[in-house]
Structure 1
Amino acid sequence: MRTADLTATARIRNAAIELFARDGFQKTNVRAIAAAAGVSPALVIHHFGSKDGLRAVCDEYVLEVLTSRARAAGTSDLLGEYLADPDGYRSQLQYMNRALAEDSPAAQSFVERIVGEAEAVHQAGVAAGAMRESSDPRALAVLNVLVSLATLTMPPALARALGQDEFGPAVLRRLAVPTLELYTYGLYTDDTALRAATAADEEMSEP
């Protein structure tokens, strides 16, 4: 494929990511994507076959960008990775936020991949003596991903609770130390709540 074609393909893909994230898949049409990319609707169809085909390419691209960055940074350091390059994450995170809201196949694939990465990071941390073991490593991985995704897709109202108009580097700086305090030291001073929850779980599990 010629370089010009590759450039057009990337422009179409990037325009589609922006529009799908902003307006949703159903409300975005090929004509709008073509206009945003500076190409004809026919060229969009030529490269991707259909809007569904274009979405599949966008899904895979966003998944690869986000999971490769999470893998490189370590899932537990997603906040730090975002803080270092907020603009580099913006469109992909907005796209995935929309996918999560629509419960799309892309969102399911993303969650499955990143939970697996989180579980692997925890296993490596335990083996290295840097992290504590868990009674349920899979559930712990899901919890870690939940916290990361909730933070990275924070609604404006929660950002305003920290004195900012929107989520961004200033909010992350405010959250960074308390987050690591919670992960490093925990919240409770004794195991009363843990023992109560464990006892209740065991009681409910009895036949």
Structure 2
Amino acid sequence: MGTARQERPPSGDLTAQARIRNAAIAEFASVGFSKANVRDIASKAGVSPALVIHHFGSKAGLQEVCDVYVLNALLRRARDDAQPATVRNGIRDYLADPSEFHEQVQYMVRAINEDSPSADKFVAALVTESEDLLSAGIADGSVRPTADLRAMSVLTMLLSLSLLTMPPAIARVLGHESLNPEVMRRMAMPSLELYTHGVYTDDSMLSSIQDALNDPPGPTPAVPTTETEGNEND
């Protein structure tokens, strides 16, 4: 059973450490880890740079705390949204206020794109979570078995990330200037149709790819020509 999500409290109700952490997450997501600086983060949090250093030691120490917070938040959401009984509340929460989730996703994408020290941590944790969810589904019969569980876990993670980080050009194809709740609403059903029903109506493409992958490496055999074609070239 998923846990009930709590709304983010107003900034005035947060401790100084929480305000600094939230300001840092927003700043890292917006400008990147290398460009962000303690002075700007402190200004956005309404504290002094010295207080940031007092609580977190350094920008690297602050980033480490942000990494843990964002990763745990994303993993909680993934677990809550993986079950039919709780996914409705997750969708409603997202459509009502997508900003915090988008910020957390953008933070993770920044880490991966910049290949920051936390990139491997994010990817490994999300793939492992995906693998655990798929394994549980296979065990209870709600998910079809797969030939390569780890690779399937990577694929589902990539599909989820690409959906959550669609660039403006893709959003415009759907009639919107940027990724927003309406874009996500429109993409929800095709995504679940793909996972639930698949795309191909038979396994001929699967069989062809399996045969190709099982063939020993070597030169591609020449395509035979007919006797007529040979005569025409004489």
With normalisation by structure 1, the TM-score equals: 0.89
2:90 maps to 1:81: yes
Residues 102 and 152 of structure 1: CA distance in aligned 2, closer, same or farther (over 3 Å): same
Identity of aligned residues (%): 52
Map of 2:196 onto structure 1: 184
Distance 1:159 1:73 in 2: 23
Aligned to 1:32: 40
Instruction: Describe the shift of the 1:34–1:79 C-alpha distance in structure 2 as closer, same or farther (beyond 3 A).
Output: farther
Report which stretch shifted further, 185-194 or 75-84: 75-84
Determine whether 1:132 maps to 2:144: yes
CA distance in 1, matches of 2:131, 2:216: 27
Cα distance in 2, alignment partners of residues 164 and 155 from structure 1? 11
Choose between structure 1 and 2 for higher RCO, CA contacts under 8 A separated by at least 6 residues.
1
Q: How far apart, in 2, do the equivalents of 1:187 and 1:152 lie?
A: 21
1:29-64 deviations in whole A, cap 9, x for unaligned?
111111111111111111111111111111111111
**Distance in 2 of aligned mates of 1:89 and 1:75:** 19
Letter of the aligned partner of 1:54 in structure 2? L
2:20 aligned with 1:8: no
Q: Equivalent residue for 2:50? A: 42
Count of matched residue pairs: 202
- Residue 113 of structure 2, aligned match among 101, 120, 131: 101
1:15–1:33 Cα contact (<8 Å) kept: yes
Structure 2: which 5+ residue stretches go unaligned? 1-11, 219-234
| Offset of residue 84 of structure 1 | 3.0
User: Hey, what's the Cα distance between the residues in 2 that align with 1:12 and 1:96?
Assistant: 18
Matched letter for residue 141 of structure 1 = S
- Structure with the greater alpha carbon radius of gyration: 2
Measured against aligned partners, the alpha-carbon deviations of 1:146-178 in whole angstroms (never above 9, x if no partner) come to 000111111111111111111121011111111
Q: Could you say what secondary structure the match of 2:15 adopts?
A: helix
Root-mean-square deviation (CA, aligned residues, Å) is 2.4
CA change 1:147–1:79 in 2 (3 A) is farther
For residues 70-98 of structure 1, what are the alpha-carbon distances to aligned partners after superposition, in whole Å with 9 as ceiling and x for unaligned?
A: 12222899898356322331221121121
Matched, 1:23 2:31: yes
Q: 1:199 to 1:75 in 2, by over 3 A?
A: farther
> Which stretches in structure 1 are left out of the alignment for 5+ residues?
none
Distance 1:180 1:161 in 2: 20
Change (3 A) 1:20 1:78: farther
Question: Which stretch shifts more, 100-109 or 36-45?
Answer: 100-109
Structure showing the higher helix proportion among its residues: 1
The answer to whether residue 178 in structure 2 is matched with residue 166 in structure 1 is yes
State which of 49, 69, 84 in structure 1 corresponds to 2:77.
69
Rounded Cα–Cα distance in structure 1 between residues aligned with 2:153 and 2:133: 9
Separation in 2 of the partners of 1:30 and 1:126? 46
Question: What amino acid maps onto 2:70 in structure 1?
Answer: V
Under a length normalisation based on structure 2, what TM-score does the superposition of the two structures give?
A: 0.79
